[in-house]
Chains A and B, each alone.
Chain A
Amino acid sequence: MTRIDADPRELFLAESTRTRTRHERFPMTGARAQGVVPSTERFASIRDIRVFAGGVVLRMAAGLLLACSSLASAQQKPKRPPTKPDSMGGMPGMRMPAAKSDSSKKTKSKAAAHDTMSMDMPHDMPMPVPMPKGMPMIPGLVGLTPPVTSFLPGSGVDPKRLPLATTSRITRLKNGDTLDLTAQLVRRTIKGHTFVMYAFNGQVPGPLIRVPQNATITVRFHNRIDLPSTVHWHGVRLDNRFDGVPGLTQDSVRAGGDFVYTVHFPDAGIYWYHPHVREDIEQAMGLYGNVLVDSPEHDYYAPANREQMLVLDDLLINADTLIPFGKEAPDFALMGRVGNVLTVNGEPRYTLRAKRGEVVRFFITNVSSSRTYNLSFGGAPTKVVAGDVSRFEREERVPSVVLAPAERYVVDVRFESSGKYAVVNAIQAINHYAGEFSPEVDTLGAVTVDATPAAPDYAKQFATLRSNDAVARDIERFRPFFDKPPDKTLTLTVATNALPLATVQFMNVDTAYYAPVEWVDGMPDMNWLSTSKQVRWILRDEHGKENMDIDWHAQQGSVVKLRIFNDPKSFHPMQHPIHLHGQRMLVVSRDGVPTKNLVWKDTAIIPVGSTVDLLIDASNPGDWMLHCHIAEHLGAGMMTVLHVDGAGGGGKSR
């Protein structure tokens, strides 16, 4: 078996050639291509039409009201950016509990004092965001720009003086070891164009930290980028002080500053690390890396011939420039930034050579700001083995792997015959212009399998779907709580203010149908123009409290049932990958249907219109964020805190 540490190149094998193909987006054929679309073809009966018409009238009336209120403040001309930008040291939209307010203020002023950004690009550029093919920009949006100052990393820095980013390398650590982790500016060349971006230790993805289960390591973090930052250890049930959330567990680390993290890894599996300050910029520009925690059990997973990391990301590039970010507030606040250049392990092309019959274990992480993937391997049989924080109760054959932002899955794939297997993201986009679904396939790379038979041959082991009794036994302890009433209920919704009139008008009509999952950004012009100044994403509890105003406590050792409902009737319903820090949770049911094959998670996708029950093992004391992992939704306020009161602290369960 090729272990990950045997040859670093084996793990992040990214070659320079690129043959990515993309089907034409939104092809229109036949009558639709001619613009001849019978307006009633969708309806089964006149009654259907009446129902539809009623819905549209109601929505239009609501839209008119909204539009009137928006008119007063909607910017019909480009505005100049504010002359005094806000601090970027905290998370936009985040208001801290009273007890923490002093420290929060301190953080803010510190961050402002060290804010070294100076890229104030005028926002008089034409619409820079590429539109999907066949999708025109709404005339009412032409000439508008988001009400923020543009920002890109490394303003005024000569890219030639920056180190060229390298691919990830393995850093194998044992209990008690120390790692220096530096966030820095780097030069990256993508599709022939050179950009100034970020990297941990000069690597994209950052170093793969490989540790044994139950190890504790020290990480000396050095912030050498041009923004305040922190490191969040995603999915790891660690000491709350080292969770990396500015204003909650630590002050943000100013540019040029340092912070020492002590990280304990109690669970085997695949984890990742990233900043928890302006993820929409820092994570998107390359600050992410994996942690692979090895179980002491040699047969923790079934045998495989090879292990590979797949870190999925997307970048938004127009011709030869990165699309700038909002300096004071995230832009793309409605849907999050959905890139048009998909990368695997930091490169736009992934290649792997394998032998016939080889079983390859892929550890897959979605580090994209907003994109949900549907990944498959050219028809090669695939079985899912593990998720965020554990193995599944039972291995399961799957046609593809669906990953929302921040989710991880471990899958085994057997390449039975020689040939080329395309690694693709295949989804059904929506052409809003034509009102149709359209298949879209992005080829992320390929696995080339030669005729030499793999040795050893793991065909028999691959054909067996293992049951993981240890996982089932562990979960069994929580089964008595599956049917209890929810302890907490959150509704996911959104509030908007002063969006462009055309956006308001479009959204009120467009949401006659809301897809459970939006796989791509079909209207990037509207999305780009929305910032967290105008869009507030909301977690609302059963008392009507919202986001950071929610007072949510649980006793350490308790089992908390959280019910989340994604309101389809909001202004812009969208799926939300909800992430809980520092704990593990089970998705026990969706829309009232119990989950049959459970796995411990830290991030769960909540489709539009769905009601999802999560059972939280509140084992880890401290103040833990729960938030949407779409970076721009987090930046637009979609977060709260679960206070897990320590067993000895006389905490209360509310």
Chain B
Amino acid sequence: MNLARSAILALAATLLAAASAGPFDIPLFNTPKAPTAQGNARLVFAQSPFGVAVTADGRASYDVQIDASGLPDPGTLGSYTSYVAWAATTDLAHWARLGVVKNGHSVVGHAELNKFLLVVTAEPSETTSVHGGPTVLHGTSPSGWLQSFLSHPLFRGIPP
């Protein structure tokens, strides 16, 4: 009886964990350069003694996990040897290197931006610090869903 209850509890817990996919997930979309590529990223709070990891000015600090499949050999796209993930501000003005991405599960580094694009590019070296190669996967941080209500009916007529 106890065994059955434990099994049910474990199943419920697994389902719950699966259902938790939500505010921290980033679906990644492929480009014509790599039409077979698929991916999903998950933001997990970086290790912190406080339960939530934030910078001194309050930005969330996430470890970025990427699950990718169907990435072609980077050499087939040109003189490239690896795939690298980047976090870019939404105006694409600032890019921060996250880390190397391979087919399968990769933990690629920290992202500490309020809103950002997650971009995976093919690069000539695993250690490159400047993005330059073609984009194969991209997505938007969940905070990109933040709504502007300037033109929403609820606020219509109120000057900004």
- Name A's B-contacting residues (CB within 8 A): 28, 32-35, 37, 39, 41-45, 47-48, 51-52, 55, 136, 138-140, 374, 376, 379, 384, 387, 392, 396, 398-404, 409, 426-428, 430, 432-437, 439-441, 485-487, 489, 491, 502, 505-506, 509-510, 512-517, 519, 542, 563, 565, 567-569, 573, 575, 587, 590-593, 595-597, 599, 604-605, 607-612
Task: Confirm or deny: B142 has a beta carbon within 8 angstroms of a beta carbon on chain A.
Answer: yes
Q: Knowing A568-B22, A610-B20 are in contact, say whether A402-B51 is a contact too (CB < 8 A).
A: yes
Does B45 contact A590, Cβ atoms closer than 8 Å? yes
Whether a CB of chain A sits under 8 angstroms from the CB of B94 is no
Q: Given A52-B145, A607-B45, does the pair A136, B54 have CB atoms closer than 8 Å?
A: no
7 contacts between A and B (CB under 8 A): A433-B160, A434-B149, A489-B16, A513-B144, A516-B52, A565-B20, A612-B51
Q: Is the CB of B49 within 8 A of A387?
A: yes
Task: Give the docked Cα–Cα distance between A519 and B57 (Å).
Answer: 12
Complex alpha-carbon distance, A392 and B51, angstroms: 13
Q: Is B90 an interface residue (CB 8 A)?
A: yes
Cβ-defined contact, A515 with B24, below 8 A: no
**B41-56 residues at the A interface, CB under 8 angstroms:** 44-45, 47-52, 54-56
The answer to whether A47 touches B29, judged by C-beta atoms less than 8 angstroms apart, is: yes
Q: Which residues of B contact A402 (CB under 8 A)?
A: 48, 50-52, 54
Q: A35-B150, A433-B160, A591-B24 are in contact. Are A517 and B16 (CB under 8 A)?
A: no
Report the Cα distance A398→B22, complex, angstroms.
28
Known: A434-B149, A486-B10, A565-B19. 11 other contacts (CB 8 A): A43-B144, A139-B157, A384-B49, A428-B60, A435-B149, A441-B57, A485-B13, A565-B20, A568-B23, A590-B51, A596-B47
The answer to whether B97 has its CB under 8 Å from any CB of chain A is no
* B140 proximal to A (CB < 8 A): yes
Interface check B147, CB cutoff 8 A: yes
Is A609 a contact partner of B158 (Cβ separation < 8 A)?
A: no
On whether A44 and B51 interact (CB within 8 A), knowing A435-B148, A591-B20, the answer reads: no
Query: Contacts A506-B154, A512-B145; is A593 near B57 (CB within 8 Å)?
Result: no
Contact indicator B147/A597 (Cβ below 8 Å): no
- Cβ of B115 < 8 Å from any Cβ of A? yes
Q: Mark B14-49, 1 if CB is under 8 A from A, else 0.
A: 001101101110010100000000000000110111
> Does B127 interact with chain A (Cβ within 8 Å)?
no
**Using Cβ atoms and an 8 Å threshold, which residues of chain A touch B45?**
516, 590-591, 607, 610
The reply to whether the CB of B143 lies closer than 8 angstroms to some CB of chain A is: yes
Q: Are B20 and A595 interface neighbours, CB within 8 A?
A: no
Q: Is B143 touching A485 in the complex (CB atoms < 8 A)?
A: no
Given the interface pairs A42-B145, A505-B154, the reply to whether A597 lies near B49 with Cβ below 8 Å is: yes
- Spell out B's residues near A (CB within 8 Å): 6, 8-10, 12-13, 16-17, 19-20, 22-24, 27, 29, 44-45, 47-52, 54-60, 63, 90, 114-115, 117, 138-140, 142-152, 154-155, 157-160
Q: Which residues of A contact B150 (CB under 8 A)?
A: 32, 35, 37, 433-435
**A510 touching B147 by the CB < 8 A rule?**
yes
Question: Which residues of B are found within 8 Å of A486, using beta-carbon distances?
Answer: 9-10, 13
Cβ of B154 to closest chain A Cβ, rounded Å: 5
Measured between beta carbons, the chain B residues less than 8 angstroms from A433 are 148-150, 155, 160
Evaluate whether A439 and B58 lie within 8 angstroms (CB atoms) in the complex, with A48-B29, A396-B49, A591-B45 already known. Answer: yes
Q: Tell me, in angstroms, the Cα distance from A465 to B49 when the chains sit together.
A: 14
B22 in complex: contacting residue of A28, A396, A491, A609, CB < 8 Å: A609
Q: What is the chain A residue whose CB lies nearest that of B18? A: A611
Shortest Cβ distance from B16 into A: residue? A565
Residues on A with beta carbons closer than 8 Å to the beta carbon of B6: 485
Whether the pair B143, A513 counts as a contact (CB closer than 8 A) is: yes
Q: Would you give the shortest CB distance from A162 to chain B, in whole angstroms?
A: 38
B50 and A401 within 8 A (CB): yes
Q: Are A400 and B54 in contact (CB under 8 A)?
A: yes
Given A140-B154, A506-B154, also A489-B13 (CB < 8 A) = yes
Q: Which residue of B lies closest to A591 (CB)?
A: B44
Complex Cα gap A506–B154 (Å):
8
List A contacts of B16 (CB < 8 A).
489, 491, 563, 565, 611
**Residue among B13, B146, B151 making CB contact with A513, cutoff 8 Å:** B146
A136 touches B158 (CB 8 A): yes
Distance (Å) between the CB of B89 and the closest chain A CB?
Answer: 12
Min C-beta distance of A611 to chain B, whole Å: 5
C-alpha spacing A136/B138, complex, angstroms? 35
Asked whether B52 lies within 8 Å of A136 as measured between CB atoms, the reply is: no
Docked pose: A399 CA to B9 CA in angstroms: 39
Known: A39-B148, A435-B147. A513 touches B23 (CB 8 A): yes
The smallest C-beta distance from A508 to any residue of chain B, in angstroms, reads 11
Set of chain A residues within 8 Å of B146, measured between Cβ atoms: 42, 430, 435-437, 512-513
**CB-based closest 4 A-B pairs:** A435-B148, A513-B145, A402-B50, A568-B22
Asked whether B147 lies within 8 Å of A41 as measured between CB atoms, the reply is: no
By beta carbon, the residue of chain A nearest B118 is: A44
Q: With A and B bound together, what is the CA distance between A493 and B27 in angstroms? A: 25
* Given A37-B150, A489-B16, A404:B49 Cβ within 8 A: no
Q: Please determine whether B154 and A139 come into contact, CB atoms closer than 8 angstroms.
A: yes
Q: How far is the CA of A649 from the CA of B97 in the complex (A)?
A: 59
- Contact indicator A515/B140 (Cβ below 8 Å): no
B17's partner among A34, A44, A608, A611 (CB-CB below 8 A) is: A611
Contact (Cβ within 8 A) A404 B158: no
| Complex Cα spacing A44 to B92, Å | 11
* Residue from B24, B59, B147 whose CB has the most chain A CB atoms within 10 Å: B147
- Contacts A402-B52, A595-B47 given; indicate if A44 touches B139 (C-beta within 8 A): yes
Whether B9 contacts A485 by the Cβ 8 Å rule is yes
Whether the pair A42, B144 counts as a contact (CB closer than 8 A) is yes
**Whole-angstrom distance between the Cβ of B47 and the nearest chain A Cβ:** 5
Q: Of B9, B10, B29, B49, which one neighbours A45 at CB under 8 angstroms?
A: B29
Known interface pairs A136-B158, A512-B147; A519-B29 also in contact (CB < 8 Å): no
Q: Nearest A residue to B21 by beta-carbon distance?
A: A609
Contact B147 A432 (CB under 8 A): yes
In angstroms, Cα B117 to Cα A254, docked, is: 57
> Could you tell me if B157 and A37 are in contact, using CB atoms closer than 8 angstroms?
no
Which residues of B have CB within 8 Å of A607? 45, 51-52
Contacts of B44 in A (CB 8 A): 590-593
Closest-by-CB residue of B relative to A487 is B9
Query: What chain A residues lie within 8 Å of B47 (beta carbons)?
Result: 593, 595-597
Contact assessment for A514 and B54 in the assembled complex, using a CB-CB cutoff below 8 Å? no
> Is the pair A42, B90 in contact by a Cβ cutoff of 8 Å?
yes
